[in-house]
Structure 1
Amino acid sequence: MKKIPNPRVCIIGAGLAGLTSARYLQDEGISFTVLEGTRYVGGTWRYDPRVGTDENGLPLHTSMYKHLRTNLPKPTMELRGFPVPDDMPSFPSWKIYYKYIQEYVKHFDLARHIKFLHNVILVSRVQNMWKVKYQNVLTGEEFEDEFDFVIVGTGHYSKPNYPTIPNEELFTGTIIHSHDYREPEVYKDRRVLIVGAGPSGMDIAIDVAYHSKALVHSHHSRIKFREVFPKHYIRKPDIEEFNATGVLFKDGTYEDIDDVIYCTGFQYDYPFLDKSCGLDLSPRSVTPLYKYMVNIRQPTMVVMGLTVRACLVVALDAQSRYATALVKGNFTLPPQEEMMEEWNRRAELIRSKGRPLSDIHFLAEKEDDYYADLTEESGIERVPPVMFKIRTVDTQAKLESLYTYRNYAYTVLDNETFVRTLEDKNINRIR
């Protein structure tokens, strides 16, 4: 890919991926536009009590709920070059963290680059240019502009993934997805079924358990939580089928249920990308991508924030810097065949283990190596290894107790070392 003089960049979405990309492109004096369908910054981090659609008839993308606190400690939530406030709690609420995002936008004067209330309808590749069609959501007026690069920053936490369970239509209680979960008080003295044991499943289960009469939790997670749950918590395997008033489980047991919350994850959803973009899009994966982000068939498109099991804010910031270095021409990508070979090797390794292709987005234990790779190739500043170390220790703390892991504070001492404290008592130094 040849260096493009005076490149024009389209950033889709003004969530964290779009905002960090905007900040670094601005630093380099690169021409860009951010297209955002709502009147707000921050994407999923902005709480909205409504569900379904917003005042303009567009789907509400936020999955924030009233009592949400981050599930990673604040050093891993910090955006580079913009320190989190000293008085920010170790695991801040969405409200505190959203204010931090707003201050970030203000500090770097990013709002002037954002076209609010302009929703992207279509992105297509035409004669070596990106044509981006977008619409003013208030007037309906449509526009089309040409760009050299496209950065897709819309995330993947807004289109609910619903399971298909026999006889669900017979059930007379309520069923929602965690995307539409807002507050636990409505479940007071109810028998609530939570389906799924990912981060939101565990968090919402604890949130609801404070109010419900019974908390029935159906999941097949192999994670060994050493949690002592309240007496009205009932662990169940996967669901066999619904009836009018409850659920039969795979082990033959039955529970009466009033309400169901599916915490079954989200689908990758990019309805505005057409076939000319060259990506294979499915609800569970976006492929083929080099370095988890560069569209191999059309490498002037970058899809941000698809990594799973990582410090997402840290990863997004690093990806934004890598994308900026790519746009600026600071480094050259390998030939398409090489990028595809590397991707195929990763995909084949996943298949050989009998795992689904969706695992192609997992970083997990490879997270720190990933940051090292981005630096080695693009020359960006290295994400300190201490970030991965903090996530590793925090993950262990979650296994020990979902009720107490947020009581720890993590203080970074240097790029390799941090201190973890509890109730202001020094516990250990980890190098």
Structure 2
Amino acid sequence: MTQRVAIIGAGPSGIAQLRAFDSAKKTGQDIPEIVCFEKQDDWGGQWNYNWRSGIDKYGEPVHSSMYRNLWSNGPKEALEFAEYTFDEHFGRPISSYPPRAVLWDYINGRAEKSDIKKYVRFATVVRWVDYNESTELFTVTTEDLKTGKTASSDFTHVVVGTGHFSFPNVPEFAGIGTFPGELMHAHDFRGAERFAGKDILLIGASYSAEDIGVQSFKMGARSVTYSYRTAPMGFDWPQGIEELPLIDRFEGSTAHFSNGVSRKFDAVILCTGYLHHYPFLPSGLALDSPNNVYPDTLYRGVASENNNKLYYLGAQDQWFTFNMFDAQAWYVRDLITGKASIPAAGDQRISIDAWLKRFNAIETAEDEVKFQADYIRDLIEQTDYPMFDLDEVTRTFMAWKNDKKKNIMTYRDKVYPSVMTGTMAATHHTPWLSELDDSLERYMAPVPSESVEDLAATEKAKSK
């Protein structure tokens, strides 16, 4: 059969795979037939924010965990595409921490320039993927959400680009069923405005808890409490934010913590992570792994040990994001086209075990960043993707962590130089803590048409 590649998902990972094939085509290489299935009406994955929470207009679960007023919580200089810079897209320096709409515009701009939309079937959800050992083909069953029609088609290769931040991990807490206030997982959080004047509890001590809590504080929450399982985040929190150990039990609106402290809350948000869950794959093909920076059973972090024609992009926990997806996609492209080859099963296992040994020796956050930088370097060295200074990106990550330690509420006002172009980011016209408008139009405006005081007055009026 002529090579046919199914790409599941048109978020940053799926778009990276499309870009990789398009890049090869532009150099005169033959590429396979490509079909990308995206269940939303547009691409962008998590960055394609939709106001619908729970169920979309087709009756499908909303897989995005995005929310209003989300700004990048890491420097854009650490995720910049090596072959499509922020300078090229925006034509002028912008700040290091853009809001969601600006990052979506950047992702969309690269994709539109590549003319790859023709490969994507939007509003089409993958229901099931099966593999026939005798024919060595995948049968991909999809549903067109606009028409309701189901269809099946055969492919030689499948690329899973759905990410792993869609299916919440929801632990049990004694008495939580008695809590009378608003209770949700971070996946269903869509904005902090409704928590103004309220006491909220966030269970978790990682990035989603940190950001949702800070966002809620910014939007006027009366108090924000974090409950940690292992260790506190330890930032110098402003008055009104505190960290307490794990919940012992709930009794109505009162949460009892393991150190004997009790607090009453109006809302509880479970920031307890996500599961690797692929409802469209049988168990023999689905990745089964904790969330970490090197999942087992993936050769070079992308090719399934169980079936070397099945690939995962972005299955790792991530320091690096967009440019790591690119490095992975370029390598997967070369595996599919035969420009690169996968070794025998025994050698795959030797490689995986070597990386796992390094992974298990990680002791600090800096070790983990360097580990992921080395992983990306290893992938890029196999392909023609532009190499970039991964050590400098690592230094940017460490500076970012240091800025957060100094002031968790103002780190987004810091600026860094681009690793790709050397351009120093611009200081944003409005400090993040005072900026209540996350639109692309206001962000890009050289002089805001509305003062911070006017914005605050507008938001206050809306909340009445």
Q: TM-score, normalised by structure 2?
A: 0.82
Structure 1 CA distance, aligned partners of 2:287 and 2:50? Answer: 32
Say yes or no: does 1:20 pair with 2:20: no
Alignment check: 8 A CA contact 2:164 2:274 kept: yes
Partner of 1:327: 336
Percent same amino acid among aligned pairs? 25
Partner of 2:379: 374
Alignment check: 8 A CA contact 1:309 1:363 kept: no
5 Å-filtered alignment, 1:29-428, equals 29=25, 30=31, 31-84=33-86, 85=90, 86-126=92-132, 127-210=135-218, 211-222=220-231, 225-227=234-236, 229-277=237-285, 279-281=286-288, 284=291, 287-347=296-356, 363-378=368-383, 380-385=385-390, 386-412=392-418
Q: Which has the higher mean CA deviation after the structures are superposed, 388-397 or 175-184?
A: 388-397
Helix, strand or coil for the counterpart of 1:132? Answer: strand
Alignment check: 8 A CA contact 1:171 1:242 kept: yes
Deviation, structure 1 residue 145 = 1.2
Q: 1:413 to 1:133 in 2, by over 3 A?
A: closer
Q: Which has the higher mean CA deviation after the structures are superposed, 137-146 or 71-80?
A: 71-80
What amino acid maps onto 2:34 in structure 1? F
Say yes or no: does 1:9 pair with 2:18: no
Alignment check: 8 A CA contact 2:204 2:271 kept: yes
Alignment check: 8 A CA contact 1:297 1:336 kept: no
Structure 2: gaps (5+ residues):
26-30, 430-464
Q: 1:23 to 1:375 in 2, by over 3 A?
A: closer
Alignment check: 8 A CA contact 2:96 2:425 kept: no
Deviation, structure 1 residue 230 = 2.5
Q: Which has the higher mean CA deviation after the structures are superposed, 230-239 or 406-415?
A: 406-415
Partner of 1:429: none
Helix, strand or coil for the counterpart of 1:57? Answer: coil
User: Structure 1, residues 216-249: CA drift from partner, whole Å, max 9, x if none?
Assistant: 211135365342x232223210000111121000
Helix, strand or coil for the counterpart of 1:62? Answer: coil
User: Structure 1, residues 287-313: CA drift from partner, whole Å, max 9, x if none?
Assistant: 411111110121111101022242111
Structure 1 CA distance, aligned partners of 2:60 and 2:13? Answer: 20
Helix, strand or coil for the counterpart of 1:157? Answer: coil
Alignment check: 8 A CA contact 1:246 1:258 kept: no
Helix, strand or coil for the counterpart of 1:266? Answer: coil
Alignment check: 8 A CA contact 1:371 1:382 kept: no
Deviation, structure 1 residue 105 = 2.4
Deviation, structure 1 residue 251 = 0.7
Alignment check: 8 A CA contact 1:35 1:116 kept: yes
Of Structure 1 and Structure 2, the greater strand share is in 1
Helix, strand or coil for the counterpart of 2:415? Answer: strand
Alignment check: 8 A CA contact 1:318 1:383 kept: no
Alignment check: 8 A CA contact 1:162 1:264 kept: yes
User: Structure 1, residues 110-129: CA drift from partner, whole Å, max 9, x if none?
Assistant: 21111111110111211211
Deviation, structure 1 residue 263 = 1.2
Structure 1 CA distance, aligned partners of 2:151 and 2:377? Answer: 40
What amino acid maps onto 1:145 in structure 2? S
Deviation, structure 1 residue 74 = 2.0
Structure 1: gaps (5+ residues):
425-431
Q: TM-score, normalised by structure 1?
A: 0.88
User: Structure 1, residues 178-206: CA drift from partner, whole Å, max 9, x if none?
Assistant: 11112212112111111112111111111
Equivalent pairs counted in the alignment come to: 411
Structure 1 CA distance, aligned partners of 2:118 and 2:15? Answer: 12
